[in-house]
Amino acid sequence: MLAISVMNGLVMGVIYALAALGVSLVVGIMNVINFAHGELYILAGYFSFLFASVLGLPVAPAMALAVALVFLFGLLIERLLIRPTYGNDMYSLILTFILSIVLQNAFLLIFGPYPNKPPLWVRGASDIFGLFSYGNQRLAALLSGAVLIAAVFLLIQKTWFGRIVRATSQDRGMAEWNGVNTTRLNMLSFGLGCALAAAAGVILSPVFPVTPTAGVPIALTAFVVVVLGGMGSLWGCVVGGLLLGLVENLGAAFVSSGYKNVFGFIILILVLLIRPAGLFGRAKL
């Protein structure tokens, strides 16, 4: 029981961390909160379902295509909805909130209220250290999520793009005076943030099917993780995501599954009481 809850917690934690990284990137660079983050997660799940289950593409290309399309959609959102609002954060908040409602209803219209599920990547289950048997699909989700998180860290810490991202998140004006085209950087990072939501979506949707409104709790959790970890801190997203995933699943197993979402908020309140800026609040990207 304990071991399985820990495994479930890790799987969910990695997905939370991935979704939160997307939010954190966009907040850190653009100071914009994308309320449609969860719907983009769902959109990628639907795409992946559409390409793999309906059109019959192999699983991997279907997922890659889904993430790429959501990335492009993200660029479009930035260009059409976010860019005209720079200078007033409230407008982008309202616009992305409207976008989330529009997307939810579009999903309902196109796919109906029923859960849809892309095919599993792998079947069967593995024996974990002789303790318990665990679904291969969940193991694959855990592994691919962890690899993606590592890739995001490499991108931010080691590449040109990452250096420019860090410089801009620390001092936007100074970055511009050093030649950074922040308009283009905004667009790219918003697209990347959406792509991270999409990656979380394609990884988890074979386990937890997508419905038109299933993105709401995912986005809420991602926001909780970002605040828990500290605004703009990438490590905060990872630690916060894992912490939340573990607490929710252990709480559900040993206290009551009815309170699953409450545990996250209890942790959030406790952390904020002690460290108001979040776990890694002062660190920058």
Partner 1 sequence: MLLEGRKISKRFGGVQALSEVDFHVEAGSITALIGPNGAGKTTLFNIVAGAIKPSSGQTVFEGREITGLPADEICRRGIARTFQIVRPFATMTCLENVLVAAVNRHPRRPRAALEPGARDLLAQVGLADLAGQEARHLNVVQKKLLELARALATEPRLLLLDEVLGGLNTQEILQAVEQIRRLRDRAGITILWIEHVMGAIMQAADRVIVLDQGRVLTAAPPREVVSDPRVIRAYLGE
Q: State the minimum distance, in angstroms, from the CB of residue 83 to partner 1.
A: 13
C-alpha span between 125 and 242 (Å, rounded) = 23
> Residue 178's Cα: distance from chain center in Å?
31
Is 87 near partner 1 (CB under 8 A)? Answer: no
C-alpha span between 11 and 120 (Å, rounded) = 16
Is 79 near partner 1 (CB under 8 A)? Answer: no
Q: Considering only residues 182, 208, 216, 277, which one is a binding residue for partner 1 as defined by CB under 8 A?
A: 182
Is 156 near partner 1 (CB under 8 A)? Answer: no
Is 177 near partner 1 (CB under 8 A)? Answer: yes
Q: State the minimum distance, in angstroms, from the CB of residue 166 to partner 1.
A: 6
Q: Considering only residues 98, 102, 150, 174, which one is a binding residue for partner 1 as defined by CB under 8 A?
A: 174
Closest CA to 67 of 127, 151, 157, 158: 151
Q: State the minimum distance, in angstroms, from the CB of residue 30 to partner 1.
A: 16
Q: Which segment (115-123, 171-179, 200-208, 263-271) binds partner 1 by CB under 8 A?
A: 171-179
Q: Determine how many CB atoms are found less than 10 A away from the CB of residue 60.
A: 11
Q: Considering only residues 88, 181, 256, 257, which one is a binding residue for partner 1 as defined by CB under 8 A?
A: 181
CB 19 within 8 A of CB 196: yes
Q: Which segment (160-168, 241-249, 257-265, 268-276) binds partner 1 by CB under 8 A?
A: 160-168
Q: Considering only residues 80, 89, 154, 284, which one is a binding residue for partner 1 as defined by CB under 8 A?
A: 284
C-alpha span between 55 and 49 (Å, rounded) = 9
Q: Considering only residues 58, 102, 171, 265, which one is a binding residue for partner 1 as defined by CB under 8 A?
A: 171
CB 49 within 8 A of CB 210: yes
Q: Considering only residues 88, 105, 133, 183, which one is a binding residue for partner 1 as defined by CB under 8 A?
A: 183
Q: Considering only residues 105, 126, 133, 170, which one is a binding residue for partner 1 as defined by CB under 8 A?
A: 170
Using the minimum distance from each CB to partner 1, give the nearer residue, 25 or 142. 25
The two structure tokens encoding residue 116: 């849809």
DSSP labels, 197-232? HHHHHHHHTTTS-B-TTTHHHHHHHHHHHHHHH-TT
C-alpha span between 269 and 116 (Å, rounded) = 34
Is 176 near partner 1 (CB under 8 A)? Answer: yes
Q: State the minimum distance, in angstroms, from the CB of residue 233 to partner 1.
A: 11
Q: Are strands 125-128 and 132-135 parallel, antiparallel or unpaired?
A: antiparallel
Output the CA–CA distances (angstroms, integers) from residue 264 to 18, 45, 221, 260, in the order listed. Answer: 17, 24, 8, 8
Footprint of partner 1 (CB under 8 A) = 160, 163-164, 166-167, 170-171, 173-183, 283-285
